[in-house]
Structure 1
C-alpha cells in the first residue's frame, strides 16, 4: 500500500476509497456499506469480508478503527487485515469479518497528522475529544438518551453482528505495545510477544492504562469484570459500561490492541525500580507544575478573548483542554499519596512518567492551536513550551520511530493470533 510505504496515515475518505476499490475487485467476498452518520454528517463506513459469500455467517468478528482521533493506525490496519482475510481462506471459513473503518471521522478531521516526522510534528495538529465525545467511552459517562450517533451506530453493529470477537485498534504516541482484554484469551501472550520482538517493538509490561489489572502474560491485561471496581486508577470511565463490554451480551470477547508510533525501551524494563514512590512524587510535581502553566495561559486567553470558543474549530479543542486539565488533580494526588506503590518495575514507573508528560503536553498543544487561530500574543511562548516538552519527552525516553507499515503488521498479527486462539479453544 503506497500510503504505508510513504509512512502516511490515510484519512477517513482515503480509507473509504481504498475499501470501495477492494469491494469492487472482490464482489463475491467483500462489500462496503454505510453503517451510520457522525454528528457532523460524515459517513461511518463498514467493510465486510469473508464467509465464502454466505449471507449469514456462523460467526462474526468486528474490528473497530479510529475510535480515538489521535490514534490513526487503526484505519490502515483494518485495510491490511481485510486484504489478509481475502487472501487466506482459513480465517474467513464460516466467519464474517467486519471493519468499521473510522468510528470518529469528525475527530479525525481535527487531528491532522498524516505524516508526522517528529513528536512535535504530531502535536502541531493534535486533537483528542473529551471522554463523553469518544464513541467507545461515551456509554460510561453519559445517560443513554445523550449518547452520540457514533456510539449508537457502533452498538447497533454489535447488536446486529453479535461478534464473538470484537477488536478495537488503538495506538500510543510514545511507549510500547500491549493488549487489553475483556476476557482472557489463553495463549495470546506468546504470538503477541514474538511479533513485537521480531518487529523491534517494546512490550509495555507496566501499562498505566491497565494498572492493577491481572496480567496472564507480558503486555496482556484483563479488564475488571462484574462485581469489581470498573474505574481505572487514572481515568473516570468505567470500562464495564464501554462498548467493549457490549459484546458480552452475545458471549463475545473484546481485545484492544495498542501499538506505539515512537518506541521506547523504558516501558519494557522488568527490573525493579529503586524508589518508585519518590519517582512518582517527582512525576506528580512536574505534572502539577506544567498544568499550572497551561491553566494560567487558558485563563488569560479567555479573559482577553471572551468569544474564544466561537472561533472555527475552537470549541471542540477547548472542551478537550478543559476535560484533560480536569483529570489531572486526582491523578497527581494518586501518584503522590500514601497509596503509591513501594515496589514497582522500571517499566511501570516509565509508563506513568510517559502518561504524565502526555497529559500536560496534549492540553498545551490543543490550546496552542486555539491561540494561534486567535492571534493571541501568548502563542509564540506556548509554542516554545510545547516544542521543549516534545524534545524532552522524546530525548528522555530514547524515542525511535516505528514505521507505519511495522505498526500495521504488528496489529494485524495480533488480531489474527487472537482469532486463532479463540478458534482453537472452541470459543469461536
Structure 2
C-alpha cells in the first residue's frame, strides 16, 4: 500500500524522496518539479505521471492535521504507474503537500491514541489554509501556497481535482462540487470491505444533498450555509477553481479512528434539543480554554506564532457557531448528524487547548499543566463517547485510493 518501509505517516521530506524514487524508476513516464514555495520558503512539488491532455490533479496536505493523504497520494501514483489502463488518455498530477509549513508543525507520525495525536496537533487559522484562504482573504493577500495551487490548476485545467482530507475520529465521506454519477456504489463497497463506517450526516456537508450514502454534492447557488457565522465558503475556495475549465473537485475524507455511531440514519428523537445541549457544552469548554489563554497572555508576548494564531482563531469562532447551532434549524434530523455535530463541538476547544499547550510546553508556566489536563480529559472522553477504534493505516490508504481512482474514472465518463 505504501512506498515507505513502515506503516506511518511520512514527512514531506520522505514524500519528496519517494516521489524522486518513482521518477528514477520510470523516467519516461514520471516527472517531478517545483511549482512554488511556501511562506517560509519550503518548495511545493508536483509529481506528474503521463502526458495526456486530459488531467487529474490530486492534492495532499491541505490540512496539516489530516496526514492520511500523504500516504494515499504516493499509493495512487504507484497504482497509476503499475496499471497502464489508468493512464489511457489521462495524465495524473500529484501536488505532494499543499502546506509544507503546516506539515512541519503537525508532528504525530504514528499516534497511539487521540491524546497522543493532540499532543502534536497543528491546524492553521483559516486565512493561512491554502484551500480556504480565497474564501476569507482578498486576492492580493492570498498566501503563496494558494497561488501555487491555483497556478497548477490554471496550467493543467483538470477535469477532476481530488483533494485528500481526513478526520481524526468518525467515518468516511465525499464532498463534490458537481455530482459524479456512479461514485457512491464503489465508495460504499470499499468502505464496507475495509470496515470503515460511512459518515452519512457529516456536519462538514450539512445541508448538502446526497447522491448516495456519504456522497454529498454542493447545493445550488442561493442556498444558505448551515452555519452562517463561519467565515469560509466552499464556493470561494480553491475547490471551485477547476470549474473555470469545466472541471470539478472531489474531497475524499477518511478517518484515522472509526466510530460506528456516525452512520446511523435513524431519526433522532429530539435533534434540536440535543444540538442545543452540544452548543452549551461547546461554549463552556471554549470558555475554559479562553480563561487559561487570557491568564497566560501577559507572558506570551514573545511566543506569538502560527500555533497561537490558530488557537485564538478557533476560539473566536465559538460564539457565532454556538449561536448557529441554537438558532438555526438542524440541517439533518438523523442520529448520524447529531453525532457529527457532537464530534465537531468537541474538536474546536480541544484543538485550541492542544495548540496552546504546545505554545506553553517547555516553559514553567502553570497554565501548561491546566491545558495538559484538559487535552487529556477531553481526548479520552471523545474516544470513549464514540467508541473509537483505530483504522489500520493500510485500510485508510486503500479506501482513499480506491475512491480517488473511482472518482477519476466516473468523472471521465461524465466529462467526455
TM-score by length of 2: 0.97
Alpha-carbon distance between aligned partners in 2 of 1:355 and 1:7, rounded to the nearest angstrom: 28
Alpha-carbon distance between aligned partners in 2 of 1:374 and 1:359, rounded to the nearest angstrom: 24
Q: Following TM superposition, by how much is the alpha carbon of 1:14 offset from its aligned partner in structure 2, in angstroms?
A: 0.3
Q: Following TM superposition, by how much is the alpha carbon of 1:282 offset from its aligned partner in structure 2, in angstroms?
A: 1.1
Secondary structure in 2 matching 1:392:
helix
Alpha-carbon distance between aligned partners in 1 of 2:390 and 2:4, rounded to the nearest angstrom: 14
Secondary structure in 2 matching 1:260:
strand
Within the alignment, does 1:117 sit opposite 2:107 as a pair?
no
Within the alignment, does 1:64 sit opposite 2:59 as a pair?
yes
Question: Is the contact made by 2:206 and 2:331 (CA closer than 8 Å) also made in structure 1?
Answer: no
Alpha-carbon distance between aligned partners in 2 of 1:146 and 1:341, rounded to the nearest angstrom: 35
Find the counterpart in structure 2 of residue 386 from structure 1. 375
Alpha-carbon distance between aligned partners in 2 of 1:111 and 1:370, rounded to the nearest angstrom: 13
Within the alignment, does 1:237 sit opposite 2:232 as a pair?
yes
Secondary structure in 2 matching 1:394:
helix
Alpha-carbon distance between aligned partners in 2 of 1:48 and 1:59, rounded to the nearest angstrom: 13
Alpha-carbon distance between aligned partners in 1 of 2:362 and 2:306, rounded to the nearest angstrom: 14
Alpha-carbon distance between aligned partners in 1 of 2:112 and 2:59, rounded to the nearest angstrom: 26
Alpha-carbon distance between aligned partners in 1 of 2:102 and 2:158, rounded to the nearest angstrom: 26
| Change in CA separation of 1:420 and 1:387 when aligned onto 2, cut-off 3 Å | same
Which residue, out of 200, 217, 220, partners 1:222? 217
Q: Following TM superposition, by how much is the alpha carbon of 1:420 offset from its aligned partner in structure 2, in angstroms?
A: 1.4
Question: Is the contact made by 1:224 and 1:230 (CA closer than 8 Å) also made in structure 2?
Answer: no
Which residue, out of 328, 336, 339, partners 2:326? 336
Superposition CA RMSD, Å: 1.6
Find the counterpart in structure 1 of residue 129 from structure 2. 134
How many correspondences in the alignment? 416
Alpha-carbon distance between aligned partners in 2 of 1:297 and 1:86, rounded to the nearest angstrom: 52
Alpha-carbon distance between aligned partners in 2 of 1:200 and 1:263, rounded to the nearest angstrom: 9
Alpha-carbon distance between aligned partners in 2 of 1:253 and 1:135, rounded to the nearest angstrom: 18
Within the alignment, does 1:399 sit opposite 2:399 as a pair?
no
**Deviations 1:49-98 (CA, angstroms, capped at 9, x unpaired):** 12xxx4xx230000000000101111111100000000111121121100
| Change in CA separation of 1:152 and 1:336 when aligned onto 2, cut-off 3 Å | same
Find the counterpart in structure 1 of residue 402 from structure 2. 413
Alpha-carbon distance between aligned partners in 2 of 1:379 and 1:138, rounded to the nearest angstrom: 31
Secondary structure in 1 matching 2:131:
coil
Which residue, out of 309, 317, 323, partners 2:307? 317
Secondary structure in 2 matching 1:374:
coil
Alpha-carbon distance between aligned partners in 1 of 2:3 and 2:86, rounded to the nearest angstrom: 25
Question: Is the contact made by 1:273 and 1:343 (CA closer than 8 Å) also made in structure 2?
Answer: no
Alpha-carbon distance between aligned partners in 2 of 1:9 and 1:3, rounded to the nearest angstrom: 11
Question: Is the contact made by 1:164 and 1:250 (CA closer than 8 Å) also made in structure 2?
Answer: yes
Alpha-carbon distance between aligned partners in 1 of 2:191 and 2:199, rounded to the nearest angstrom: 10
**Deviations 1:205-251 (CA, angstroms, capped at 9, x unpaired):** 00001111111111011113444446855632111111100000000
Question: Is the contact made by 2:206 and 2:332 (CA closer than 8 Å) also made in structure 1?
Answer: no
**Deviations 1:240-288 (CA, angstroms, capped at 9, x unpaired):** 1111000000000100000000000111011111111221111111111
Find the counterpart in structure 1 of residue 85 from structure 2. 90
| Change in CA separation of 1:272 and 1:88 when aligned onto 2, cut-off 3 Å | same
For 1:239-318, list aligned pairs within 5 A. 239-303=234-298, 305-307=299-301, 310-311=302-303, 314-318=304-308
Q: Following TM superposition, by how much is the alpha carbon of 1:334 offset from its aligned partner in structure 2, in angstroms?
A: 1.6
| Change in CA separation of 1:206 and 1:382 when aligned onto 2, cut-off 3 Å | same
| Change in CA separation of 1:45 and 1:320 when aligned onto 2, cut-off 3 Å | same
Q: Which runs of 5+ in 1 are unaligned?
A: none
| Change in CA separation of 1:368 and 1:342 when aligned onto 2, cut-off 3 Å | closer
Question: Is the contact made by 2:47 and 2:93 (CA closer than 8 Å) also made in structure 1?
Answer: yes
Secondary structure in 2 matching 1:84:
helix
Q: Following TM superposition, by how much is the alpha carbon of 1:341 offset from its aligned partner in structure 2, in angstroms?
A: 3.0
Which residue, out of 351, 357, 362, partners 1:362? 351
Q: Which runs of 5+ in 2 are unaligned?
A: none
**Deviations 1:127-152 (CA, angstroms, capped at 9, x unpaired):** 00001000000011111111000000
Q: Which moved more, 1:340-349 or 1:170-179?
A: 340-349
Alpha-carbon distance between aligned partners in 2 of 1:235 and 1:150, rounded to the nearest angstrom: 22
Question: Is the contact made by 1:224 and 1:239 (CA closer than 8 Å) also made in structure 2?
Answer: no
Secondary structure in 2 matching 1:378:
helix
